[in-house]
Every structure is written in structure tokens, then in C-alpha cells.
Amino acid sequence: MNTNLYLVRHGQTKWNVEGRLQGRLDSSLTEIGIEQAKQLAQRINDVPFKCIYSSSASRAVETALYLKGGRSIDLVKTDSLMEMSFSKWEGRKWSEIQEMFPKALEEINNNPENYDAKESQGETLLDVQERSVPFIRDILERHVGENILVVTHSIVIKVLVNYFRGGSIKTVWEGPDTGWASVFQLCFNSDGVKIFYEGSEVC
């Protein structure tokens, strides 16, 4: 019996285009982002989802609503799936963050296990793992043998995929990048878990 978890990143947003860090702050989907969500909805239209769980951020909820379409299933919003908090950095352009906090940015990019969030006053990657993994484990237990759709954010997806691959925080950036409105499928059964990104298995 397989339990299938589909992890989807929201579509492109206005701040994505402007090169601004969103984190817990928000911006709406662009026209491209809306089209990305609609195209993904068509690609997964034949999957009989039991439920949809979404980050409570509006960009994720908006994406989830396009994916839900006319399905008669619940859409549950939760802060457990919110993007990693960067607090003081949020709303700033990446170029500005690079100029103001070069050492912290280098740390999170190259030595993520050592990133302590003192400069941003937000979360560490371990913080993200410790709030998101228990939530996912809970819904996996409640939906054994079913298809579960989860709409969330890039870093949360990377943390979850890395965790279920057996990685440590040090390896969190390894693996495929998370494009807008892209999907990872994690297939759980008695033999363990198989992970697919856009249909191709991630080894």
C-alpha cells in the first residue's frame, strides 16, 4: 500500500520577479504564476487527492485553490508549512542582503548546518525541520494509502525532501532545485520511500 505525498511550490510572485526575499511576508502571484498553477493543475488532474494542506501564506493558498479546482476535498491552511522566517531580511532585495549581511548569507548557502540566524533574527534550517517534519509525519499517519497534496515553499520543500532522504542539515541544498509550481512526489510504503521530481526519480 502506497501513501503518496505531493509537495508543490507556489507559483511565481511579484517579489520573486523583483528579487525580494519573502519568507513570512507575502506578495501575490503574477500572471505567469497563475498560469504556472493552472498548468500544474492540469498535469495532476488525474490524481485522486484525499485532501490539500497549504501554507497559510496567500501565495501558497492561491496556488492551492487553482490546484483544487472543482474537487470536493478539504483545503487546510497551516502555519506549520510557512516559509522559513528571515525576519529582518524580509522584503529586502537579495542584492541588499548580500551587501549588508555577506557572512551570514555565505554561511547559509555554503554551511547551512552552521547558520544561526542571529543576523536575520529569524529561523534556522533546523527550526524549519522541527516544525514541518512532525506535521508531515502526522498527516502521513492520518492518510495511509491515500494521495496528499501539500502546497508550500522552496526551503520547506528542500528541508522535507532532504529529511526523508536521510540527509542532515549539511546536505539540505543537495538535489533538484524547486521551480515555481513544481512538484516532488514522495511515495511511502513498507520498503521505505521513493522520491520523484517532476516524474524523474531522485536517487
Ramachandran angles phi, psi of 77, nearest 5°: -95, 140
C-alpha cell at position 49: 487527492
Mean pLDDT, each 10-residue run in order, the chain (203 residues): 97 98 97 98 96 98 97 97 97 96 96 96 98 98 97 98 97 94 97 94 84
Closest CA to 138 of 126, 127, 150: 150
Q: In the prediction, which pLDDT does 12 show?
A: 98
The confidence score (pLDDT) of residue 175 equals 86
Task: Please give the model's pTM, rounded to 2 decimal places.
Answer: 0.96
pLDDT at 78: 98
| Residue 97 amino acid letter | I
Residue among 182, 180, 160 at smallest CA distance from 172: 160
Torsion over CA: 28, 176, 84, 135 (sign) = positive
Specify the pLDDT at position 72.
Answer: 95
- Please give the radius of gyration of the chain, using alpha carbons only, rounded to the nearest integer: 16
pLDDT of residue 89: 97
Residue-level pLDDT at 161:
97
pLDDT, position 110: 97
Locate 118 and state its grid cell. Answer: 542571529
Number of other CB atoms surrounding residue 167 within 10 Å: 16
